[in-house]
Structure 1
Amino acid sequence: MKYILGRNNMNRRDFLKNGAITIAALKLGEVISLSPTKLNASEIKTFQEFKTLAKNIKGIERIPSVCLNCSTICGMTVLVKDNEILGVEGNPLDPNSQGKLCAKAHGGVNAVEYPERIVYPLKRVGKRGDGLWKRITMQEAYELMASKIKKCIEDKKPEEIVFHGGRNKMGDITGRFMDAVGSPVILNHRALCSSNKRAANYTTIGDTSWETIDAIRCKYFLNFGSNFLESHQGGFALMKRFIEAKSNGAKLVTFDTRLSNTAGKSDEWFAPYPSSEGAIALAMANVIINEKLYNKNFIKEWCNISLKELKELVKPYTVEFAQEQSGINAEDIKRLAIEFAKAAPNCAAFTNRGSQAHYNGLHNDRAVVILNALVGSVGKEGGYAYGGSKNKGHKSFPMPEPIPPKPLFSTDLEDPKLYPFANKWQKMRVSELVYDKIKTKKHNIQVYMSYTISSPQTWPEGPQTAVEVLKDEKLIAFHVCSDVVYSEMAHYSDLILPDATYFERYTIEGRNAYELIPYFVLRQPAVKPPYDCENFADTLIKVAKKIGQPVSQYFKFDSYEEFIKLRFSKLPQKEGLSGFDYMKKYGVWIEDKPKNYEPYNIELNEAQLKNSFIENNIIYINKKNKKEAIGIVKDGKKVRGFKTPSRKFEICSNDIINEAKKLGEKDDGFPHFKMPKSLKEKKEDELILTTFKWNVHTQARTTPQKYLTEIVHDNPVWINTQTAKKYKIKNGDIIKITTYRPKEGYKASQNEIVGTMKIKAFVTQGIHPEVIAISNSLGMNYAGRIAKGRNGLKENLKAYPEYEDLDLNGNIWWDKRFGGSGNGFNPNMVIPVNPAPLAGMQSWNDTICKIEKV
C-alpha cells in the first residue's frame, strides 16, 4: 500500500517485485504460535524505497467515507487506486469537520495493510492463553459459533449469550442479532467514557449526549475539564469553531488539574484540587445570584424551581468555601462568574472527562450545566446549545421487517440495579464491574462475543481481573473475538475472526451537529477486505442463517450492505439518485431544517398532538400502556419543552429523587457538592493519580498504527516540580507508584493496595502539586511490533499477510533495546474499579497513591 505519509512502505506487489522472500500462506489446519514472548529477530535491516503519491496521482478514485479512529467521526474522502489506499482528505460536505482532518484520520490508513494484521480465522488449540492456533475456514467459524449459540437457545438460556462491544458503530445489526437469539446481555464501554456527563445532561435538559456549543458565536467559554483541542468527544468540530470565535475576541477559561493543550491555549488556566469542580460551579452560581446577573425570565419560565429556591440552594456554596475545596482564589472565582454572566447569552459552561470522571462527577457536571440556565444561555445563539442530531434509529432509518422482539427480562450483568442511570435511557452498562460479576459467578456465560474491545489493556484492573476471567474456561465457556490485530482480547479467545477495518465496511453515522442542523454520514468500503477478513456485521448475518429458525427469519438479507440499502429505502431521491446511491456519491445528508435554537420553545404540530391530553400543564400521550410527556403548555401554546419529566430545565431532578428512593437512599434532587472520602481524607504523604488521553491515540485501537505511535509512544508520569523536589526526583528518574482502593463505594477499604508499577518521571510545573498524571493507550504487550516498540522481522509470518513493512525492521527508533524510550506504560494495572453512584461512571481521577524514587 502506498501512503501519503511516511518513509519506507512496501505494498504486496512491490514486496514480490523487489525479490524479497515470498511467504507461503498459512495452510488450513496448520498449528502456529502467536505467543508474544517469542517476538522479533535481532537483525536490523531496511532496504525499502520511499513511494511518493506523485507517481500515482493519475486515475485516483475519491470515495467519501467516515473516520473511526475516535468518536468524532469526521467525514473524509479516501484516495484509492487499484484497490490500494493512497491517503485521505477531509470531506468538505461534512458540516461538522468541514473538510478538515486530524493526524488520527491520516494515521488510520496504517491499519489496512498492517503486516501483523490477522487475516485468517484462527481456532485455539491447547490451553486458552498459550497462543497456539490453527487456521480454519470462515464456514467452519460460522458453524462453530452457530452450534454454541443454538445450544443456549435450545437449553432456554439465551442470557448466557453475551455480546461485548467497544466502539460499536453497528448496533443496528448487533442489537438485532442479540434480540433474535433472545439475550438482553449487550455490554459496552460507556461507563469508562462518559456516563456521568450524559447523566448530568439527561437529568437537567433531558438530552442524552453532550452539549453542542454554538461555538462560532460564543464569546465566553467556561471550561471544566474538557480538552477539546486534543481529545474531547466531537472536539475536532468544536476546535475548528473555537478558533474562529477566538479570532473574534472570545475568551477561554479552563479548569484542569493538568496543563493540557486546551489549558495551554486558554486565556486563563486554573489547576483545582481534583473533584472540586462542583464546588467552584456552585460558588459561581452563588455570585451570579447575589450580583443579580441571572436571567430572571428564563428561571421563571423554564426552570422547575423558583429564584427563591435557587438562592437557598447555592447559599452554602460561597467563594470562600470553593477556595477551601479547590485551592482556587476566591476573588478569581467571583471575577470569572461575573465575566461569564455578563457575556450571556453568548456564553457556555461545559465539561468533559476532567470533571465527570470522579465519584462525585454526576453532581459536578450538573452544577456546571445549571450555570447556563442561570444566565439564560441554554439553546441560545452562541450559548449552551444541544440536540439537533439526526436520530439513527427506526424512525429515521426503518429496520427491515420482520423485526425481532426485545427480550422481556434483564440481568444484573447488563442492567445493574445499583446504578439506575446506567440504563435509564440508553445502554450505558457499568462496564468496569463486568469481570468481577463473572468472576464471582453471578452470571454464567456459554458464548462470549467480543468486538473492537481490549479490556485486558483498557479496563481498570484489566491486566489482573479481566485476564483472570478471560483465561478461565469454567467462567467463559466459549469466547469468539473479532479483531483486526492479535490483541490482548484475541489472545484469550477460542476463535479469532479477522475483522474488516473501518476503511472496508459500511455504517450509518451521526454526531451531535455543531451547525445545529441534523445530518448523517455514510461509512462505505474504500477497498475490499483482504484474505478472509470480514465485517463482523456480515459474520453475524451468516451465523444467524446457520442457526436457523427462529433466528434466521429476521435475517432475510444476505449482507450488511443490503441491510443498509433497506434502511435507506425511504430516503427521498436527490439528483435522480436513490438515497443509498446519493450517499455513496456524496457521503453526507443534511436535513432541510433551521438551526436548532431554543428547541424547548418549538410548537408541537397536529400529528404530534394526536390523542394527547393535558395534566398539570404537561402534555401527554399514551404509549405502550404508559403515559409519556411530550410537551408543555406555555403562554397558551403547546410547545416541546425540555425532555425531562416536568418538561422544564430541572435544577431539581425528579429522576434523581425517584431512582435514589428505589435504592432506599434519600436525595433531594438538587446538585450538591461533596468531596469523595478518599480525597477528603488524603494524607500528606499521598497523591492523587489521574489519567488523560493524547490527541493521537484512542484506547488500544490506535497503538498498532505506526505514524500515530511514532508521534506518541512513551507516557512518563507527570509530576509537579515542587513535589518532585520533595521526593528528590529528577526528570527521567524511575519512580514506584503504589495505589489504594477508595474509602467509599465499591470494595471500599482503608488501606488495601491495588497494585504497584514503576514508571519514568516527567517533571513539570504544568500539574497540580498533589496530582500525578499518566496517559492511557500505551504499554501494550500484544498487537505487533509497532504497539510493542520492537524492531525485527515479522514472527510466524504465515499467520499474517504475505507482505512485510520493512520500516518495522529498523525504523522503530524508540525500541528500548537500541537506546529508545520504549513503548510506554499501562496505568490500568494500578487503577481500582471505582463506579460512581447512580450512573456507574468509572472514577478514573480519584485514585489515591504513594510514590517513591527507585
Structure 2
Amino acid sequence: MNRRDFIRNGALSLAALKLGEVISLSPTKLEAKEIKTFQDFNTLAKNIKGIQRVPSVCLNCSTICGMTVLVKNGEILGVEGNPLDPNSEGKLCAKAHGGVNAVDYPERIVYPLKRVGKRGDGLWKRITMEEAYEMMSSKIKKCLDDKKPEGIVFHGGRNKMGDITGRFMDAVGSPVILNHRALCSSNKRAANYTTIGDTSWETVDARKCKYFLNFGSNFLENHQGGFALMKRFIEAKQNGAKLITFDTRLSNTAGKSDEWYAPYPSSEGAIALAMANVIMQKNLYNEKFINEWCNTSVEEFKEQIKTYTPEFAQKQSGIAAKDIERMAIEFAKAAPNCASFTNRGSQAHYNGLHNDRAVVILNALVGSIGQEGGYAYGGSKSKKDFPMPKPVPPKPKFTTDLEDPQLYPFANKWQKMRVSELCYDKIKTKKHDIQVYMSYTISSPQTWPEGPQTAVEVLKDEKLIPFHVCSDVVYSEMAHYADLILPDATYFERYTIEGRNAYELIPYFVLRQPAVKPPYDCENFADTLIKVAKRLGEPVAKYFAFDSYEEFISLRFSTLPKKEGLSGFEYMKKYGAWVEEKAKNYEPYNHKLSQKDLDGSFVENNIVYKTKKDKKTAIGIIKDGQKVKGFKTPSRKFEIVSNDIIKYSKKLGLDETGFPHFKMPKSLKEKKDDELVLTTFKWNVHTQARTAPQKYLTEIVHDNPMWINSKTAKKYGVKNGDMVDITTYRPKEGYKASQNEVVGTMRVKAFVTEGIHPEVLAISNSLGMNYGGRVPKARNGLKQNLKAYPEHEDLDLNGHIWWDKRLGGSGNGFNPNNVIPVNPAPLVGMQSWNDTICKIQKI
C-alpha cells in the first residue's frame, strides 16, 4: 500500500472510530496468527520517473547528515545523500535509509489518546486534538495561577527544537528543562571546556591527519559526527595515516586500527599522562606553543606528571610500558598532523573528566591544537545567528536543584547539560513538586540507568507526577506511563535548523523540512506548544505571535542575505545547506578581535574584557602587541591548569589542583578476583530507543548477547550461547555508595570471544523493549485492530520477523539498564556507564 492509499484509507476509517471508545495497548494482547509471506512493494525502481527531491536532514542519530528525500504522489520512496552538506558530502549510512520506515509504520500512534485506567494499565480512549490542547493548557494554567511555574517540567531527548521548547518554558516562567546529556557526552564536553573553552566535540582535521590516537571512540560505528570523521579518516588511511585505538572491546573501529589495545576500564587517563611524561622527558614537546598559549610552564608541568611513568600506566592499564613509550614518541613526531581524541570508552567513567582532559592535553604538548591535520575545533553556524522573533520571553530568574544540581557545577556551566540520571530519584524523594511533566523524544524507562525500576516507579505514581503528557511517534516505554499521548510528526514531516561541528572547519548549517505532511492527527510538537501557548493567554501568548513552527523558522531566517534572488528561507528549502564564504578555521585562538568586538572593551593583566549584563567577561588576550581571541577559557589560554576546576572544587570542598591527574575509581581499584566489570556500547544501526521499531535496522541488529572473553568464559564454564545471570553492585564511592548493595540481576545470553578484555563484560543498549510494536518486541502476528493505529498494515510483520523466538529466532534482545546503577561522576554528573562491578553465574 502506498502512502496516498494509507492516508485515504485512514480518513475513511475515521467514521468507524468512535471518540471516547476505550482501547487497550497492553503488551500482552499481541498474538501471532496466520503467517503471510508476500508483499507488493512500491519500489523506487518502478517510480523513478517524475520523482520529487526534497532536501532535508536525517535525525536517526545526532550526526544529522544532509539528505534528499525521494517523494512521489505523497509517498517517500527512499533517501539519498545531499552533496551540498559539507560534513556528509552526499553520503548516508544505514540508519538514514532505515529511518524511512518510521513514516508508514503500521503501529504508529496517529490520534491523541487520553488515559482512562490506572497509569500503566494501557487503557486509553481517542480524543480530539482540541481536547488535548485544552487538557494541556488547563493543567499549565493552574500552575501559573498558583504562582508555581517550577511545577511545569519539560524533559526532552534530542528534540532539536530547543528554540521553541525553550521559548515556551521561558514564557511560562519555568527553568526546569531536563535532557539526557549526562547520559551521553558531558565529561567529554567538560574536558574540552576546561582546556580549550569550546563546549562541542573536537573536529579532527582528519583528511590531513597522519596519526590518530583514539581513546574509546568507535567512530566507524557510533560517534557524534562520526560519519563525517569516518569518511575523512578513510581518505587519510589511504594516504598512509596510522590509527591506534584503546578500547576494552574489539569494536569495528578497533578492528580497522593499525594497533588495538584493550586497557583495564578507567585507565585511559593513566596511559595519556604517561605519554605526556614521555613527550616532556624526551623533549618532544612544542616549546613555543606551551610558552605562548598554555597557562603553565614546561618545568611546572614536568614536575606535575613525573610520577606518571609508562611503568605506572602499565600497572594500571595492562598495556606494556614499551608500547606506551613508543606510541608517545610516534605521536609527537607526527605533529602537528596528529590528534588525540576520546569518546564514551574513556569519558563514561567516574574519573572520566580527568581521563579526557589528559588525552586532550597531549595535543597541546605537541602543538597540534587548531593546526592543519590536527586537533581542530569549530562548529556550525551558531543558532544565535538566527535571531528570535520579538518579543522574546525573559529567562526565569531562579533555578531549582532538579535541573541545576549544585553538587555538579559543570552540569550547567554551559549549554544546560543537567544531571538527568538523578531526576527520578529527586522526584521520588519529593525534592521537587511537579504538576505538569512534558516528555518528548525520550524514553527513560528504557534508556536510563535503573530506568526499568526507578523511572517506571516514579512515572507510574500519580502523586509524584499528577499529569504527564508525552509526544511520540510510537507507543513507547515512555508513552505507556503518560496521561495524554500526542501523535508526533516524524523528522520527515517537520522543520528544524541544524548544524554540528564542521569537519571542513567552515561554519555551515542545514535545514530539515517536511518531505510529506503528517498523516491523520499527527502534529509536530512545536506546533502543539504554539497552540497551547495561545490558549494560555497573556502574558504567555504575546511571545507566540506566529501561527506555526514553519512561520517561526522563516522569521529566524529573515536576516539571511538573498541568494539567487531567493530569500534565506526559500534558498534553504531549495538547497538544504548553507556554507559560509570563509577560510578554514585554523588557529582560531590567534584570530584578531574585530573593532566590533573591541568596542567598549578594556584590558586587565593582558586579558581583554567587556562588561556584559553587569558582568566582566573575557573576550581576548594580548599577544605580540595584538588583541586576539585566544581560547574561550578564563585565562584565554589553553588551560592545562583549569581555573574553573579549581574554583568549583573549592566551593565543594574537593581536593583539586586544576592539573589533570589519574585516580582509579574505588570500585574498580578494589575489584575482587570473582568480580568483573560490566560495560555497555552502541551498534551502528541503533540510537537509544528511537530505532528499534524500524524494521530494516532491527533486522540487522536485534540481538545483543553479553560479550565475554574466552579465557574468562572457560573459568566459569560458559560456552557460546549459554545463559548467564549477571548480578551488579552499587559503586563504592559517590552517589549511593555501598560496599555490597545489589542493584539487580538479569539473565542474558553469552557471546564468547577473544575480542574483549578478560575482566570486562559488554552488552549493547537499544534493545530488549516491552513496547513499540511487533518489530522491537520481535513478535510476528497480525496487527491489533486498534483505533490508535492507522489502517495500513505491513505484511512483513506477520511472518518475516524471523528472529521471533516462537519461530526459533533469538528474540528481541536484552536491556542492560535493568542492572546499571545510577552513578554520576564528580563535578560534571556524567553517568559512569563503564564502571559497574558484577558477578556472573552460568545457568
Q: TM-score, normalised by structure 1?
A: 0.98
**2:185 pairs with one of 180, 194, 198:** 194
1:434 aligns with 2:426: no
Q: Report the CA distance between 1:387 and its aligned residue.
A: 1.4
**Which residue in the other structure is 1:335 paired with?**
326
Matches within 5 A, 1:777-788: 777-788=766-777
Matches within 5 A, 1:126-145: 126-145=117-136
Q: Give the secondary-structure state (helix, strand or coil) at the position aligned to 2:667.
A: helix
Q: Report the CA distance between 1:42 and its aligned residue.
A: 3.0
**Which residue in the other structure is 1:633 paired with?**
622
Equivalent pair of 2:724/2:840 in contact (CA under 8 Å)? yes
CA-to-aligned-CA distance 1:581-620 (integer Å, 9 cap, x gap): 0000000000111100000000011111001100000000
Q: Report the CA distance between 1:61 and its aligned residue.
A: 0.3
Q: Report the CA distance between 1:22 and its aligned residue.
A: 7.7
Counterpart residue type for residue 116 of structure 1: E
CA-to-aligned-CA distance 1:387-411 (integer Å, 9 cap, x gap): 1431112xx0000000000000000
**Which residue in the other structure is 1:598 paired with?**
587
**Which residue in the other structure is 2:161 paired with?**
170
Q: Distance in 2 between matches of 1:74 and 1:378?
A: 26
Equivalent pair of 1:12/1:802 in contact (CA under 8 Å)? no
Equivalent pair of 1:33/1:796 in contact (CA under 8 Å)? no
1:459 aligns with 2:451: no
Q: Give the secondary-structure state (helix, strand or coil) at the position aligned to 1:64.
A: strand
**Which residue in the other structure is 2:262 paired with?**
271
Equivalent pair of 2:4/2:75 in contact (CA under 8 Å)? no
Q: Distance in 1 between matches of 2:589 and 2:316?
A: 35
**Which residue in the other structure is 1:123 paired with?**
114
Q: Distance in 2 between matches of 1:366 and 1:526?
A: 42
Equivalent pair of 2:277/2:305 in contact (CA under 8 Å)? yes
**Which residue in the other structure is 1:351 paired with?**
342
Query: Share of identical aligned residues, percent?
Result: 84
Counterpart residue type for residue 468 of structure 1: E
1:293 aligns with 2:284: yes
**Which residue in the other structure is 1:13 paired with?**
5
Q: Distance in 2 between matches of 1:325 and 1:36?
A: 47
**2:46 pairs with one of 38, 45, 55:** 55
Q: Distance in 1 between matches of 2:606 and 2:514?
A: 50
Structural RMSD (CA): 1.3
Q: Give the secondary-structure state (helix, strand or coil) at the position aligned to 2:140.
A: helix
Q: Distance in 2 between matches of 1:527 and 1:255?
A: 44
With over 3 angstroms needed to count, the CA separation of the structure-2 counterparts of 1:14 and 1:140, relative to structure 1, is closer
Q: Distance in 1 between matches of 2:36 and 2:87?
A: 44
**Which residue in the other structure is 1:585 paired with?**
574
Matches within 5 A, 1:468-487: 468-487=457-476
Q: Give the secondary-structure state (helix, strand or coil) at the position aligned to 2:497.
A: strand
**1:703 pairs with one of 685, 689, 692:** 692
Q: Give the secondary-structure state (helix, strand or coil) at the position aligned to 2:641.
A: coil
Q: Distance in 1 between matches of 2:74 and 2:18?
A: 25
Unaligned stretches of 5+ residues in structure 1: 3-10
**1:720 pairs with one of 709, 715, 728:** 709
Q: Report the CA distance between 1:426 and its aligned residue.
A: 1.2
Q: Distance in 1 between matches of 2:194 and 2:736?
A: 27
**2:662 pairs with one of 661, 668, 673:** 673
Q: Give the secondary-structure state (helix, strand or coil) at the position aligned to 1:254.
A: strand
Matches within 5 A, 1:685-834: 685-834=674-823
Q: Distance in 1 between matches of 2:286 and 2:758?
A: 38
CA-to-aligned-CA distance 1:274-302 (integer Å, 9 cap, x gap): 00000000000000011110000000000
Q: Distance in 2 between matches of 1:381 and 1:549?
A: 53
Q: Distance in 2 between matches of 1:686 and 1:842?
A: 21
Equivalent pair of 1:23/1:802 in contact (CA under 8 Å)? no
Q: Report the CA distance between 1:808 and its aligned residue.
A: 0.3
Q: Distance in 2 between matches of 1:276 and 1:234?
A: 25
CA-to-aligned-CA distance 1:601-658 (integer Å, 9 cap, x gap): 0001111100110000000000011100000000000000000000000000000000
CA-to-aligned-CA distance 1:216-254 (integer Å, 9 cap, x gap): 000000000000000011000000000000000000000
1:227 aligns with 2:218: yes
**2:144 pairs with one of 145, 148, 153:** 153
Q: Give the secondary-structure state (helix, strand or coil) at the position aligned to 1:719.
A: strand
CA-to-aligned-CA distance 1:105-138 (integer Å, 9 cap, x gap): 0000000000000000000002111100001100
Counterpart residue type for residue 490 of structure 1: A
With over 3 angstroms needed to count, the CA separation of the structure-2 counterparts of 1:477 and 1:14, relative to structure 1, is closer
Equivalent pair of 2:710/2:753 in contact (CA under 8 Å)? yes
Q: Report the CA distance between 1:14 and its aligned residue.
A: 8.0
Equivalent pair of 1:791/1:812 in contact (CA under 8 Å)? yes
Q: Report the CA distance between 1:13 and its aligned residue.
A: 2.6
Q: TM-score, normalised by structure 2?
A: 0.99
Q: Report the CA distance between 1:12 and its aligned residue.
A: 6.1
With over 3 angstroms needed to count, the CA separation of the structure-2 counterparts of 1:502 and 1:646, relative to structure 1, is same
Q: Give the secondary-structure state (helix, strand or coil) at the position aligned to 1:54.
A: coil
Q: Distance in 2 between matches of 1:473 and 1:453?
A: 20
**Which residue in the other structure is 1:560 paired with?**
549
CA-to-aligned-CA distance 1:61-110 (integer Å, 9 cap, x gap): 00000000000000000000111000000000000000000000000000
Q: Distance in 1 between matches of 2:301 and 2:5?
A: 70
Q: Give the secondary-structure state (helix, strand or coil) at the position aligned to 2:284.
A: coil
Q: Distance in 2 between matches of 1:51 and 1:152?
A: 50
Q: Distance in 2 between matches of 1:104 and 1:388?
A: 23
Equivalent pair of 2:43/2:77 in contact (CA under 8 Å)? no
Equivalent pair of 2:676/2:760 in contact (CA under 8 Å)? yes
Q: Distance in 2 between matches of 1:388 and 1:302?
A: 21
Counterpart residue type for residue 488 of structure 1: E
Counterpart residue type for residue 760 of structure 1: K
**Which residue in the other structure is 2:607 paired with?**
618
**Which residue in the other structure is 1:95 paired with?**
86
Q: Give the secondary-structure state (helix, strand or coil) at the position aligned to 1:568.
A: helix
Q: Distance in 2 between matches of 1:91 and 1:468?
A: 44
With over 3 angstroms needed to count, the CA separation of the structure-2 counterparts of 1:16 and 1:793, relative to structure 1, is farther
Unaligned stretches of 5+ residues in structure 2: none
Q: Report the CA distance between 1:16 and its aligned residue.
A: 9.2
**Which residue in the other structure is 1:536 paired with?**
525
With over 3 angstroms needed to count, the CA separation of the structure-2 counterparts of 1:644 and 1:800, relative to structure 1, is same
Q: Distance in 2 between matches of 1:179 and 1:203?
A: 29
**Which residue in the other structure is 2:62 paired with?**
71
Q: Give the secondary-structure state (helix, strand or coil) at the position aligned to 1:756.
A: strand
Q: Give the secondary-structure state (helix, strand or coil) at the position aligned to 2:301.
A: helix
Q: Give the secondary-structure state (helix, strand or coil) at the position aligned to 1:133.
A: strand
Equivalent pair of 1:32/1:796 in contact (CA under 8 Å)? no
Count of residue correspondences: 842
**Which residue in the other structure is 2:303 paired with?**
312
Counterpart residue type for residue 13 of structure 1: D
Q: Distance in 2 between matches of 1:599 and 1:114?
A: 46
Q: Give the secondary-structure state (helix, strand or coil) at the position aligned to 1:87.
A: strand
Counterpart residue type for residue 100 of structure 2: V
Q: Give the secondary-structure state (helix, strand or coil) at the position aligned to 2:435.
A: strand
**1:653 pairs with one of 619, 626, 642:** 642
**Which residue in the other structure is 1:252 paired with?**
243
Q: Report the CA distance between 1:46 and its aligned residue.
A: 3.1
Q: Distance in 2 between matches of 1:453 and 1:15?
A: 27
CA-to-aligned-CA distance 1:181-206 (integer Å, 9 cap, x gap): 00000000000000000000000000
**Which residue in the other structure is 2:395 paired with?**
406
**Which residue in the other structure is 2:598 paired with?**
609
**Which residue in the other structure is 1:837 paired with?**
826
Q: Distance in 2 between matches of 1:96 and 1:474?
A: 47
